[in-house]
A and B are shown apart, each in its own frame.
Chain A
């Protein structure tokens, strides 16, 4: 009850006790009598010493109130400035200078020099002879092995099962604590083309290692926002056995090209689509969003889509040349926080300008 009263007194009489403390240092004035006037004037104006700052008040409630007042003053000044500018603008009428464009993250982005020019011969040759050339020339069909880290929990297991329905010719195997370096030669012997390992942490899938098999690059991703089929709203029926089409958006830098090809080679190539299912990998600001839909053309211009299947977002952490060898392998690209800046966010994305 005592505390309650104290609080009331502070609110109504508005800093009568507070002003005593700074005033102790400053030159004395008849402050107690002139409280009401002092309240209306600026806080930093009259009696505070110039080096006074709100943070020096030790009492939390008083400090908070002083700070609120300070912010209100600032807001008031800002509104006044705005009004003034608006008046000036209206006064000038047509002669007013054009409105300034605010700086946004998208505005400030630096053009990425590794953007691939579609007619570049060197890059075309590089891609024609890289590890995916066998797939893109139609010589191999994808066969994917999906597994997890050891002892997966229910959510990860269901995620893997759903992934296996999305990716045709995918087989889910239980990990049994086997070492990946020993699993890989066995997969190669059984003609698998991809090894996908979903890593689990605290009963949620949080990482993915995607290794292209004969001797191909290994990509390590961070998975976030996984939504399984049960959690999706307004979803369609379960996906069928048809191979989905693949849409890759915004993989336009050189690194983006490599990752895009990595995803494309997961699915069989068939120019005559049979089913109406489509898997989309959309890259934006270095995050890759995966969605799986079924579409139907209602007429020439209208399409209806239903989302089926899981959705998740990926972020590339490292791309390693060669099959999985985190200790002695050579990395083609590593996510480094020291290289990151919002202005140069560039790894796979295209410059939106």
Chain B
């Protein structure tokens, strides 16, 4: 069990309650399950890394339990009860120092300390919260958003009022109130800004440092609700997915669609960009994990996992890397600058080996594709 879990570079939570680890190099998926019999109320709703070294995964289920899974040992080590099924499923899990921050669909945001079973802090973020995320820079700031519930940024040290409440868009040309439904959000690194995607196929960028509480930038994509969002390393683009299975790369500077990733046939439930590589993993209702390259928008890997998938988590280490050494300490949300001293170690050790490997596999793939193309072209008439 332990060696299997160490191989896995991508972790996914499914609707049946199984935590799946996928090793991309071997194209194998492993199931890790807590109980001997499965049940639907163990449905995994939120995943997050339990520690900066990425050796533990926190799994939040519908019935309100948060389980800790150790990737080193390959089994579930701990389970805590954080709220009940009446809260709805978890919409966000985050780790703030030693404390666990959870948020349920009913809107109650709770901070749990290690020892006690009562929340140390509890605040209400409105009703129908769809997503809660933690800022990678300021670890005690979290943002929440939901249906008819605008973006609110909270500071956990001062829980009385949110730091920033977003205002709804201006009324439309009939003077009717615009409907508002934040489905997913992310903090843009290197700045205070927050990017959200809505159920009305809009992507908004909010800037708390500016006096304007309305969105600074608005981009529309498609005709279906956008369900998932992720920021690749770089900071000027965003990847969004909608319920129809369309994933698009949007440019945040101009507000324009850069391109679409093809292949998904079902609604996108989870999207995650790798912190360093230009690669994005997507999972959804069609029971596949797909890994696309962001540069040329091609499908790199596709793995069939038998249940509908709710959330995906990528390890910071290289996807192709089979045996992971100690993690570089990057968080899952955004590339972190903590890599500092270990960079030299990585440079000398592994990169030299991997470049030729990756080149040859890519070259081989290209050659194969070219051969296939030339075989397919059959000239029927003279020219």
Contact = CB atoms under 8 A, between A and B. Distances in A.
A275 to B, nearest CB: 37
B243 interface: yes
Interface stretch (A117-125, A263-271, A300-308): A117-125
Given A122-B38, A336-B265, 4 more contacts: A126-B307, A129-B40, A329-B243, A331-B243
Contacts of A123: 306
Most interface-central of B31, B227, B304 (chain A CB within 10 A): B304
A212 B249 CA distance: 35
A44 B382 CA distance: 11
Interface in B14-72: 15-16, 18, 31, 38-40
B224 A332 contact: no
Given A330-B267, A332-B267, A338-B262, A122 B306 contact: yes
Contacts of B263: 339
B213 interface: no
B287 A254 contact: yes
Contact of B304 (A114, A126, A333, A336): A114
A120 B306 contact: yes
B383 interface: yes
A120 B38 CA distance: 14
Contacts of B286: 332-333
A321 B308 CA distance: 11
B383 A53 contact: yes
Contacts of B16: 122, 125-126, 129
B344 to A, nearest CB: 42
A327 interface: yes
A254 B306 contact: yes
Contacts of B38: 122, 125
Nearest to A52: B382
Interface in A231-269: 254
A330 B243 contact: yes
Most interface-central of B223, B224, B243 (chain A CB within 10 A): B243
B307 A122 contact: yes
Given A327-B224, A328-B199, A328-B243, A333 B266 contact: yes
Interface of A: 44, 53, 113-114, 120, 122-123, 125-126, 129, 254, 321, 327-334, 336, 338-339
15 contacts: A44-B382, A53-B382, A114-B304, A321-B267, A321-B285, A327-B224, A327-B225, A330-B266, A331-B244, A331-B245, A332-B266, A333-B285, A333-B286, A334-B266, A336-B265
Contacts of A321: 267, 285
Nearest to A336: B265
A327 B227 CA distance: 13
Nearest to A71: B381
A334 B244 CA distance: 7
B308 A332 contact: yes
Contact of A331 (B40, B199, B285): B285
A321 B265 CA distance: 13
Contacts of A328: 199, 225, 243
Determine the main DSSP class of B at the interface with A: loop
Contacts of B245: 331, 334, 336
Contacts of A125: 16, 38
Interface in B235-273: 243-245, 262-263, 265-267, 269
Interface of B: 15-16, 18, 31, 38-40, 199, 223-225, 227, 243-245, 262-263, 265-267, 269, 285-287, 304, 306-308, 382-383
Contacts of B383: 53
Q: Which 4 A-B pairs have the closest CB atoms?
A: A330-B267, A332-B285, A330-B243, A113-B304
A123 B16 CA distance: 10
B287 A114 contact: yes
A322 to B, nearest CB: 10
Nearest to B263: A339
A321 B244 CA distance: 11
A129 B15 CA distance: 11
Contacts of A120: 306
Nearest to B286: A333
B41 to A, nearest CB: 10
Contacts of A333: 265-266, 285-286
A333 B212 CA distance: 40
A211 B141 CA distance: 43
A129 B17 CA distance: 12
A334 B265 CA distance: 5
Contact of A339 (B40, B265, B285, B304): B265
Contacts of A339: 262-263, 265
Nearest to A70: B382
Contact of A122 (B31, B266, B269): B31
A296 to B, nearest CB: 42
A120 B308 CA distance: 15
Contacts of B266: 330-334
Contacts of B244: 331, 334
B34 to A, nearest CB: 14
B332 to A, nearest CB: 24
Contacts of A53: 382-383
A117 to B, nearest CB: 9
Contacts of B40: 129
A124 to B, nearest CB: 10
Contacts of A44: 382
Contacts of B285: 321, 330-333
A257 B287 CA distance: 14
A330 B31 CA distance: 25
A243 B38 CA distance: 35
Contacts of B18: 122
Contacts of A113: 304
Contacts of A329: 243
Contacts of A338: 262
Nearest to A330: B267
A330 B227 contact: yes
Nearest to B260: A338
A330 B268 CA distance: 8
A116 to B, nearest CB: 8
B362 to A, nearest CB: 22
